[in-house]
Amino acid sequence: MLEGRSLIEPLNFTMEEMDLLFSLAEKIEEDGTYLRESCRGKLLATLFFEPSTRTRLSFEAAMLRLGGSCLGFAEPGSSSTVKGESLADTIKTVSCYADAIVMRNPKEGAALLASRVSPVPVINAGDGGHHHPTQTLTDLLTIRRLRGTGGTAGGIGGLTVGFCGDLKFGRTVHSLAKALARYERISMVFVSPAELKAPGYITGHLEDRRVPFTETESLEKVMGDLDVLYMTRVQRERFFNEEDYIRLKDTYVLNSEKMKNAKKDLVILHPLPRVNEIAPEVDADPRAAYFRQAKYGMYVRMALLSSILGTAEHKGEIPC
């Protein structure tokens, strides 16, 4: 089902396919030897035209843990892009060497373009302020593990999810909101300054699907209503001028005082990196789940790679 498929935006996979990935990731988490060596002889290219810690390293860790190998670059200045090579030519070339390509690029739509010229699967590791679908797999798996409903409707449902921070440029927010809209009894609360509101193509998507959502500038007012709080940093690299960034960057800072009004079983997520929007004192709160979330990212990327490379089928897990 997933063998040979690219992942460019969060709705590329059906809910059933996502459920299979989550079940596979849960099995890998339970049994550290599961699918080990299943990707031996396979090569993954990681092409990062923008900085990354979690996405690139968790993909590389995932591939190495599956017995495969990695090649690529983390700094586009060391590639022939600086000589003027087009993205299409780079992808056509790298696909001669690798069995799958993971790419992060500052331009919206770059991953889609890459998938159209590539004979091997392309995974979007972030295209500008647009989408970040493997972060969404990470976020959904974390919600399922920490606030899951069991077997019903994909294991996620009946939750009020708050998104706080830079909802305009935050691609992880765009991808997760679109993906969550497919689950039952989800409502969303968007908390941002007026200048950093969620874009119309996301709120329009929710309206089309009749998913209830509200927008506010006050985190304090809604804190007690939330089951999941998804904090985000203000995306400095996407601002046109530094003054606006400096004015907006510390609009929201989650600290222990604000946590007093939150539900006892709230789950605090953050795609990371964090800058100043969650005080370090919150890390010790059992509701802070962002470092567990980073670990789930590796498990779900192991499940994804073994599925698109067709190596999970040998275990009878994914109908490839």
Site of interaction with ligand CP (CB under 6 A):
52-55, 135, 271-273
CB of 106 to ligand CP, least distance (A): 12
Q: Are 176 and 229 in contact (CB under 8 A)?
A: no
| Of 22, 10, 18, 14, residue with least CA distance to 202 | 10
The single residue listed with the structure tokens 């962002």 is 290
SS3 85: coil
Determine the Cα angle at 195 with ends 193 and 201, to 5°. Answer: 105
Number of Cβ within 10 Å of residue 50's Cβ equals: 18
Report d(CA 9, CA 81) in Å as an integer: 24
CB of 270 to ligand CP, least distance (A): 9
Residue closer to ligand CP by CB (options 47, 318) is 47
Report d(CA 133, CA 113) in Å as an integer: 16
Q: For the chain, what's the residue count?
A: 320
CB of 254 to ligand CP, least distance (A): 17
**280: CB partners within 8 A, 6+ apart:** none
Q: Are 59 and 137 in contact (CB under 8 A)?
A: no
CB of 212 to ligand CP, least distance (A): 27
Number of Cβ within 10 Å of residue 150's Cβ equals: 8
Residue closer to ligand CP by CB (options 38, 172) is 172
Q: What is the DSSP letter of 80?
A: G
Residue closer to ligand CP by CB (options 150, 280) is 280
CB of 44 to ligand CP, least distance (A): 16
Residue closer to ligand CP by CB (options 38, 58) is 58
CB of 25 to ligand CP, least distance (A): 17
Report d(CA 253, CA 33) in Å as an integer: 40
Number of Cβ within 10 Å of residue 244's Cβ equals: 14
Residue closer to ligand CP by CB (options 115, 232) is 232
Q: Are 36 and 62 in contact (CB under 8 A)?
A: no
Report, as residue numbers or ranges, the catalytic residues: 54-55, 83, 104, 132
CB of 297 to ligand CP, least distance (A): 8
| Of 110, 114, 115, 116, residue with least CA distance to 130 | 110
Report d(CA 250, CA 267) in Å as an integer: 22
